[in-house]
Structure 1
Amino acid sequence: MGVPSVLPLPAAASDRAGGPSRRPWGHMLLWTALLVLAPAASAAGTPSPQGPPKAVVRLEPPWFNVLREDDVTLHCQGPHGPADGPTQWSRDGTPILAQVQPRFSFKASLSDSGDYRCQTGQTGLSDPVHLNVTSDWLLLQTPSLLLQEGDHLLLRCHSWQNRPLFKIQFLQDGVSRRYSPANSSFFVPHANVSHSGTYHCSGFIGRMKHESNPVNITVQGRRDDSSFPVTIVVAVVVVIAVVAAVAAVAAWVCLRQSQSAATLTQAEEAAKTEAENSITYSLLMHPEEDPGLSDYQNM
């Protein structure tokens, strides 16, 4: 944060008359305020950009866990949309040389599990996105295992090769949360911390009942970022009020000292004047006798 230049204020009449100077107090209080407010302003500022923005890997469909032979599509996106130009893909740090397009699709196999990343000439290396491929009859799918309070909670009970699924049940920590004859989705529009837990689903494929493996989902309380600027403003107001109060006290002390000095000077002047008047009056009331006048009176 740039520190604004401060021009010295012209001296007051009392300063020019020899009274105590107020400049050191003003400068000290100003620098104290700047030092206190500088960390808050820098914390609220926008960080300077460092290099190109990161690319983003997006899964389609959005499930990070899929069954063998499911169709999976990976998208490499820039900050504002699909990436342009040749794309570098990697899985678990190993380049996928055969893929140079920002989008590619494949049928999932067990060997396709891993962390995928991408990068283009206009973007930096993306964060990893994990894809987990399993072999089972039934799988509970979700876009994310970690949610913030207020986010959507979406669960899907998925069968191998999309075989018809009936009598579907979703359970949280062993307690049934939803039952449907044929709807394989469970949706919560605004999740809260009570939706954290271990989920699994069950259903019938033909005449056989199957259950998925459990999935642990955590819903965290959302941090209210909007209160941060309010806190900064309140802190600034409090600091300004404190500085103003200290400045007022300092000015009052200086004023009292100036008034005391002026009062003392006036008292000295009054005493001196009174003394001179007393001497003059005494001389008028008791003049010294003239010797010549005495002799004349005697004669």
Structure 2
Amino acid sequence: MSVVTPLAQYSSMWQLLSPTTLLLLVSAGMQAGSPADLPKAVVLLDPPWVRVLEEDYVTLKCQGTYPPGNSSTQWLHNGSLISSQASSYSIKSARVEDSGEYRCQTGLTMLSDPVLLEVHIGWLLLQTTQWVFQEGDPIWLRCHSWKNRPVQKVTYLQDGKGKKYFHQNSDFHIQKATSSDNGSYFCRGLIGNNNKSSETVSIIIRDNSASPSISSVFLPWHQIIFCLVMGVLFAADTGLYYSMQRNLRSSMENWKDHKFQWNRDPQDK
């Protein structure tokens, strides 16, 4: 009958662990103990407008990673928890009190950056996906009416001057933003026989040629430390792995070559 020694069991188990596996185990342990290393969740608006009118339908979606068996999502509005734990939060008929900052978080993400939603009262609203753009970014503007009532003879204006005219209401696209697109925008048009205008919106175009800040060039200090620690651990684990392999191989050879000698006790002579 063959006997499996504890040493042989240990050797077999150790051989299953490669340096890469050890690195992943250490990495997982460090990430589990360091929430700051988790990615941030992201809040998306559907439709993508950051400005809406009363009674509009808005859905906020949380993008993030969920642990197995737990798909609950934490939602915050102006810092207060929302009862909904679904991955999407719907506002079926927007009210002014729905305005404010929205954040979300999943089981394997950090709290998202805030997304600001503005709910306005009026007949017309100039909608945009954001207020600040980089040079070369596309800009998408929409002249939105309350309850989507028909609007005709729509004009988009920049700094009080007409920029684009549509006989029937249409979205206004700027393919690539330049510094000349900076300014205050609003739209106006006819709803029935009434001439209506929206409030103004300030659009800012940032210059891509500006020198990047130090914080954008260098990694955060905790990421640098994490990378250095992981490199040291990987080197140490690799050396330990091969050292243990050599020692275990040598021990197994000695075990096989060892011969037991049976001696009689003194009283058996």
Aligning the two structures, in what range does the TM-score lie when normalised by the shorter sequence?
A: 0.5 to 0.7
CA distance in 2, matches of 1:157, 1:176: 14
CA distance in 2, matches of 1:50, 1:221: 31
Partner in structure 2 of residue 181 of structure 1:
167
CA distance in 1, matches of 2:209, 2:38: 28
Letter in 2 for 1:85: S
Partner in structure 2 of residue 54 of structure 1:
40
CA distance in 1, matches of 2:65, 2:181: 31
Equivalent residue of 1:130, what SS? strand
**Contact residue 45 and residue 61 of structure 2 kept, 8 A:** yes
CA distance in 2, matches of 1:105, 1:59: 10
User: In 2 relative to 1, CA 224–118 (structure 1 residues): closer, same or farther, beyond 3 Å?
Assistant: same
Partner in structure 1 of residue 103 of structure 2:
117
Higher normalized helix content (fraction of residues): 1
Partner in structure 2 of residue 194 of structure 1:
180
Q: How many residue pairs were aligned?
A: 177
1:73 aligns with 2:59: yes
1:219 aligns with 2:202: no
1:223 deviates by 4.1
The correspondence for 2:154, drawn from 152, 157, 168, is 168
Same amino acid, percent of matched pairs: 48
Deviations 1:195-240 (A, max 9, x none): 00000000000000100000000001114899x9xxxxxxxxxxxx
Query: Which 4+ stretches in 1 moved above 2 angstroms?
Result: 48-51, 223-226
1:131 deviates by 0.6
Deviations 1:103-158 (A, max 9, x none): 12122111101100001111100011011101100000000100000001111000
Equivalent residue of 1:53, what SS? coil
CA distance in 2, matches of 1:136, 1:223: 39
Letter in 1 for 2:192: G
Partner in structure 1 of residue 85 of structure 2:
100
Structure 2: gaps spanning 5 or more residues: 1-33, 215-269
CA distance in 1, matches of 2:151, 2:75: 36
Alignment of structure 1 residues 214-293 onto 2, 5 Å: 214-223=200-209
Equivalent residue of 1:181, what SS? strand
Letter in 2 for 1:204: L
Deviations 1:226-285 (A, max 9, x none): 9x9xxxxxxxxxxxxxxxxxxxxxxxxxxxxxxxxxxxxxxxxxxxxxxxxxxxxxxxxx
Q: Larger Rg: 1 or 2? A: 1
Instruction: Give the alignment's Cα RMSD to 1 decimal.
Output: 2.3
Letter in 1 for 2:85: V
1:156 aligns with 2:142: yes
**Contact residue 65 and residue 107 of structure 2 kept, 8 A:** no
CA distance in 2, matches of 1:76, 1:188: 28
TM-score, length of structure 2 as denominator length: 0.62
The correspondence for 2:126, drawn from 137, 140, 162, is 140
Partner in structure 2 of residue 281 of structure 1:
none
Q: Which moved more, 1:119-128 or 1:84-93?
A: 84-93
CA distance in 2, matches of 1:79, 1:150: 31
1:50 deviates by 3.8
TM-score, length of structure 1 as denominator length: 0.56
